[in-house]
Amino acid sequence: MDVEKVFHMNGGLGENSYAQNSSLQRKASDMVKHITLKSLEETYVTTTPKSMGIADLGCSCGQNTLSTIREMVEAIDEISHKILDVPPPEYHVYLNDLPTNDFNAIFKILPDFYKEMNNDRHLHDAKNVSSVYIAAYPGTFYGRLFPDKCLHFIYSSYSLHWLSRVPPGLYDKEGHSINKCSFYISKSGPPQVSKAYFNQFKEDFSLFLRSRSKELLDGGRMVLILLGRRSQSHVDRGNSFLWELLSRSFATLVSKGEIKQEKVEEYNVHFYAPSRNELEEEVKNEGSFDIEHLEMFELERNSGPCMSHGTAVARTVRAIQESMISHHFGEHILDDLFDIYGRLLDEEIDVEDIKPISFNIVLKKL
């Protein structure tokens, strides 16, 4: 399966869209927003450019994307006016995601976004309101995207745990999966599975860092938010357990005769949750960046009066994984699959909470 041609968040504004099911991601980015804006402000103060290049890698679609950009612009505007007493810079904002992303959903709301943002900025400083230019840059971030030294700041939220491909080491010489017990790393899987995933992560993350080091100006910064794991063990009640429950959901469909077991055994995800040590080691080995900040954090349950936490998580996972699952299995299983998944999540949470963890990393270009 060619990930670059298939994988995307669900577009549009429908019930199963990413725009309607990304509150967990927004909640996480809000938790570390003070770190993001502080890093952005420090970058601006030390470089004071007249034109500032900012990239959002893995931007997806929906309001999360533009609300983050607005917060960045407002933060730099305030620094310019109140501390440096200079006109704010022009903002060149590059939104990146795979070509399959629903960029049109962003473009459709841009006019209202510009109007509302500029009205608010004029209220604070009627004379010195600079331009904000937003453009789309489709393509994988596992490789070069931008010209040399054109960016001051890079932001990426909940994208880097997605690998460039399903690790080739998961398949034998005949092309059959060696990971028939799960979609991801599991207790019952062979040890070669975790090795294959780790090797793919190292290859991808190193290429990501090497590519960004050429595109960032000296002293530029990156703020990265991604899923990870608490310890060296891959098996816990965190991100790996969410995949285990999805595997169980598929097993239920097999038992009901809705899909073939052989089809399930062929499926693997292009995901890796690194540990803190693995992240630090890869940054050190690549050598272009200094780690200014690295913290681990958890999200609390996200349920409300209208739906359970399990249902909310299932809808979030569906908005992210639907493109890959429907490509391999067909669309007809989706409603039943994620109903089962939501129920399994709620059952497990009643026994013991599932606590996926995330990392927030700030890297400064050396």
Strand pairing class (216-228; 357-365): antiparallel
pLDDT attached to residue 201: 98
CB-based contacts of 16, cutoff 8 Å, min separation 6:
10, 315, 318, 319, 322
Q: What is the DSSP string of 134-178?
A: EEEEES-SSS--S-TT-EEEEEEES-TTB-SS--GGGB-TTS-BS
- Distance (Å) of CA 334 to CA 42, 47, 126, 338: 45, 49, 51, 6
How far, in Å, CA of 264 to CA of 260, rounded?
7
pTM: 0.95
pLDDT attached to residue 242: 94
pLDDT attached to residue 175: 87
Q: Is 199 exposed, middle or buried (0-12, 13-18, 19+ CB in 10 A)?
A: middle
Query: What would you report as the CA-atom Rg of the chain, rounded to the nearest whole angstrom?
Result: 21
**How would you write the pLDDT of the chain (366 residues) with one tens digit per residue?**
789 999 999 998 889 999 888 888 989 999 999 999 999 999 999 999 999 999 999 999 877 889 999 999 999 999 998 899 999 999 999 999 999 999 998 999 999 999 999 888 877 666 678 899 999 999 999 999 999 999 999 999 999 999 999 999 999 998 889 998 788 998 888 999 999 999 999 999 999 999 999 999 999 999 999 999 998 888 888 899 999 999 999 999 999 999 999 999 999 999 999 999 999 999 999 999 999 999 999 987 665 567 898 999 999 999 999 999 999 999 999 999 999 999 999 999 888 888 889 999 999 999
**281-285: long-range contacts at Cβ-Cβ below 8 A with a sequence spacing of 24 or more?**
282/202, 282/205, 282/206, 282/209, 283/209, 283/363, 285/206
Q: How many CA atoms lie within 13 A of 18 on its CB side?
A: 25
CB contact at 8 A, 138 and 98? yes
pLDDT attached to residue 286: 97
Tokens 């190193």, residue? 206
Tell which residue, 61, 42, 316, 36, has the closest CA to residue 156: 36
pLDDT attached to residue 232: 87
pLDDT attached to residue 278: 98
Q: How many CA atoms lie within 13 A of 193 on its CB side?
A: 21
Residue 111: both structure tokens together: 């006019």
pLDDT attached to residue 304: 58
State CA 199 to chain mean position distance.
20
Q: Domains in the chain, please, with CATH?
A: 3-365 (3.40.50.150)
CB-based contacts of 25, cutoff 8 Å, min separation 6:
64, 157, 158, 316
